[in-house]
Amino acid sequence: MNTASAISPSARRAQEYEPVWQELAAAVDARVAAGERNLSRVVSSVYHEWRGHDVARANGVAFGEVVALPRSALAGARRALIAQTVIAACRPDTSLIVELGSGPGLNLCDVFLGGGPPGAAYAGLELTRSGRDCLTKLAALDAGFDCEARFFDYHAPDLRLLDDHRGHLVVFTVHSIEQIREISGELFEQIIDRADRVSGIHFEPVGWQIEGRESGRYSSRAYAQSAGYNENLLQILSELESRSRLTVDSIVPDIFSHKAKNASTLVTWTTAGRAP
Ligand SMILES: C[S@@+](CC[C@H](N)C(=O)[O-])C[C@H]1O[C@@H](n2cnc3c(N)ncnc32)[C@H](O)[C@@H]1O
């Protein structure tokens, strides 16, 4: 039997990402061992060591066009875009902010540090142990950051965490649904059924799923198929919208990438929800 096909899609992704997040967790440990205790300083230095902190000219993508910027500026712009978009979705009644497929948890830290609601709980739901460990180490640096990392597998989602929170939920993803070739509508139904009111935000390379954009330059069906990436997020959201389970509020194709490939498309949705 071919070993590649003998393991599950989740196990294959875990094999790929465990060592990546282990390295980031070790970078956090190194800073703490050197006496650093400030969450913001640790997150920034680890992020830029990972994504680039030099002034070399690098190509990224903004609104479907190539943009050339110093590499550190592309990395910084990406951080700001993700964090500020999530923060903008928060409201006075936001009680929980969840990232699905949160990897090392840097996005969640950026949301909190960038001005996310101080009284809300934050949660990183992630497949890999090393990713969860990295977020746990980061969250321990700031007593005011109510954040936990939990095991999560898109293929067998456990969303019981949502039952413990009332009010408005912000749930976001950053290139993690991309890892799931066919995402199930059931996942979104579970989220909607468990929460009072929900805002969903996705930065995922799905611009090619918009009718007429299949062969886009910075996200395309061909690239998604070759990488085993998601092929149905927009279709699933559209089906949920047609059944009035949610409203898709915006789709901004190929809004940004720090590389000239696999650009993120921003998709946002909301539910009307139950009365407060
Ligand atoms: C490209 S990384 C993005 C990580 C994080 N969202 C970020 O922006 O830093 C993809 C993430 O999806 C996670 N992932 C892959 N398959 C998954 C699955 N079946 N369930 C949950 N997470 C998964 C990986 O472990 C990895 O952390």
Q: Tell me the pLDDT of the chain (276 aa) as tens digits.
A: 455 558 999 999 999 999 999 999 999 999 999 999 999 999 999 998 898 889 999 999 999 999 999 999 999 999 999 999 999 999 999 999 999 999 999 999 999 999 999 999 999 999 999 999 999 999 999 999 999 999 999 999 999 999 988 999 999 999 999 999 999 999 999 999 999 999 999 999 999 999 999 888 899 999 999 999 999 999 999 999 999 999 999 999 999 999 998 999 999 999 987 655
| Joined tokens for residue 137 | 């180490």
Q: In what order do the strands lie in the sheet with 264-270?
A: 65-70, 57-62, 247-257, 264-270, 197-204, 168-174, 94-100, 121-126, 147-151
> Residue 89 Cα, ligand 1 centroid: separation in angstroms?
22
End-to-end, the C-alpha distance of the chain in Å comes to 55
- In testing the pocket of ligand 1, which one of 18, 176, 202, 261 has its CB within 8 Å of the most ligand atoms? 176
Residue nearest to atom 20 of ligand 1 (CA): 153
* pLDDT value, residue 5: 59
* pLDDT value, residue 216: 83
Q: Is 122 a member of any domain?
A: yes
Calculate Rg over the CA atoms of the chain.
Answer: 18
Q: Helices 233-242 and 185-194 sit at what angle, rounded to 10 degrees?
A: 50
> Residue 209 Cα, ligand 1 centroid: separation in angstroms?
20
29: containing domain: 3-270
Q: Is 133 a member of any domain?
A: yes
Q: Is 232 a member of any domain?
A: yes
Q: Is 275 a member of any domain?
A: no
| Joined tokens for residue 76 | 């910084």
> Residue 275 Cα, ligand 1 centroid: separation in angstroms?
33
Q: Taking a C-beta distance cutoff of 8 angstroms, is the pair 60, 52 a contact?
A: no
- What are the pocket residues of ligand 1 if the criterion is a CB atom closer than 6 Å to any ligand atom? 10, 13, 17, 101-103, 106-107, 126-128, 131, 152-155, 174-176, 179-180
* pLDDT value, residue 164: 87
Number of domains within the chain: 1
DSSP for residue 220: -
Residue nearest to atom 1 of ligand 1 (CA): 175
Q: Is 46 a member of any domain?
A: yes
* pLDDT value, residue 52: 82
> Residue 16 Cα, ligand 1 centroid: separation in angstroms?
10
Q: Is 276 a member of any domain?
A: no
* CA-104 nearest atom, ligand 1: 9
Q: Taking a C-beta distance cutoff of 8 angstroms, is the pair 240, 265 a contact?
A: no
Q: Is 101 a member of any domain?
A: yes
* CA-152 nearest atom, ligand 1: 21
Q: Helices 129-139 and 106-113 sit at what angle, rounded to 10 degrees?
A: 20
* pLDDT value, residue 1: 45
For residue 84, what is the domain's CATH number? 3.40.50.150
Q: Is 197 a member of any domain?
A: yes
